[in-house]
Amino acid sequence: MNSSTLSNAVKPLAIVILAAGKGSRMRSPLPKVMHKLAGKPMINWLLDSCAALNPDKIIVVAAPDMDDVAAAAAPHDVVFQTQQNGTADAVKPALPLLAGFDGQVLILMGDEPLIPLDALRQMIAHDGLSALVFNTPHPHGLGRVLLNVDGSLQNIIEEKDCDAHQKLITLCNAGTYCVPARQLKPWLEGIGNNNAQGEYYLTDMPKIAAAQGFSTHTFTIEWTQSWGVNTRVQLAAHEAMAQNILRERHLNAGVWMQDPSTVYLWHDTKIGEHCRLEPNVYFGARVVLESGVNVKAFSHLEDAHVGANSTLGPFARLRPGAEIGEDVKIGNFVEVKKSTVGDRVKLSHFAYVGDADIGEDTNFGCGAITVNYDGFNKHRTMIGKNVMIGSNVNLIAPIEIHDGAFIAAGSTITDNAPQDALVIARSKSEVREGWAAKFRKLKNNTKEKRKAS
């Protein structure tokens, strides 16, 4: 960052986000900014950052057919860029909404969702024109930044317009600018298209501002924070950065991760203090873990709530609608979907619980399942408190197992079980002495006759 004068007064702030880019280089029908990081569209990552700056207004520039971008940007103003003639041309549709506005205008690229807030705060705290820049050992395809001897910003040149010497420069343009609102329109009108692409670039603004006696500033950020997302490769790289941001946030909040790089989080994942996450745990949308939850390796959770001090996994799966109480044990290869599991319940291994309510202190045995689907409709299973469901039990819904009932192993239950009853629903075993020996002798004789023939 070069030396400059801080603005003592807090000025009004407007933010313009350029979000009209298509996903053509991603080979995607989605607009570029609607591609997701940790389950949230890039435009919404950027809007969340903007909200932290307390702007007076946010204007999103989209293409006319981008209804999904407009919906994601709501309730903020959305204007439309009818044709794409460069970044400077993209800002012009926002000008009518900035008429009479006196303050700072921060211009952001919608495909750069992870710009650090501190850098943006520094930009809006300074007078004149400011731009974000970064150093990279791989500047190919990027605009080069030229500085004056005093460190102020002289010019930004798109790579196709650079000469051989300028292409060696490794200080590059991040595409983010902050300008005085009163100067934005005249500066935009002063930008021409005398360049290799024949387009109107915001990169010409620093040269215009400096020529008019305005101070120009640069703020340097890490190159990994400033790259735009144009390809699937770059989207994957940003996903990795977003995951690291979320992991660090949870680690700093008191969550233990044995191998953070293998834990995948959603943008809205909520994890309480003293939770423990073993390797290879995946969080989908809308997961809440209360304090002290232990999630063992290779577990998958989505749209689920887990009470304090419960244990999941390894290889547990919580599907949407799973409401797990406190001190619950959900073991390996157990799946829970759209069910309420009471406090201190044990589902230790190889079980399926779907469309069910299980009361406190119940034990759900190995291989037991709720049979909730008849081929046409889903039905509910109601299990009371302190119930024992034996191994390999099939509970055919709709059904109710009352408090204290004991369901014998291997039973298929189709009727309600009374309170404290023992229910057995399996065939009686039959023993035929010597049958196996006679059967083997018969089969061996048949085999010998076939060989002889």
Annotated active-site positions, please?
349
At 423, give phi and psi (nearest 5°): -120, 125
C-alpha closest to that of 99 among 184, 13, 9, 169: 184
Give the whole-angstrom CA distance, residue 264 versus residue 258.
13
Q: What is the 3 state secondary structure string of the chain?
A: CCCCCECCCCCCEEEEEECCCECHHHCCCCEHHHCEECCEEHHHHHHHHHHCCCCCEEEEEECCCCHHHHHHHCCCEEEECCCCCCHHHHHHHHHHHHCCCCCEEEEEECCCCCCCHHHHHHHHCECCEEEEEEECCCCCCCCEEEECCCCCEEEEECHHHCCCCHHHCCEEEEEEEEEEHHHHHHHHHCCCCCCCCCCCCHHHHHHHHHHCCCCEEEEECCHHHCCCCCCHHHHHHHHHHHHHHHHHHHHHCCCEECCHHHCECCCCCEECCCCEECCCCEECCCCEECCCCEECCCCEECCEEECCCCEECCCCEECCCEEECCCCEEEEEEEEECCEECCCCEEEEEEEEECEEECCCCEECCCCEEECECCCCECCEEECCCCEECCCCEEECCEEECCCCEECCCCEECCCECCCCEECCCCCCCCCCCHHHHHHHHHHHHHHHHHHC
Cβ(177)–Cβ(202) below 8 Å? yes
Residues 6+ apart with CB under 8 A from 210: 152, 153, 154, 216
Residue whose token pair is 């500047």: 139
Q: What gap in Å lies between CA 69 and CA 266, rounded to an integer?
A: 21
Task: Identify whether the C-beta of residue 205 lies closer than 8 Å to the C-beta of residue 187.
Answer: yes
Structure tokens at 359: 């009361």
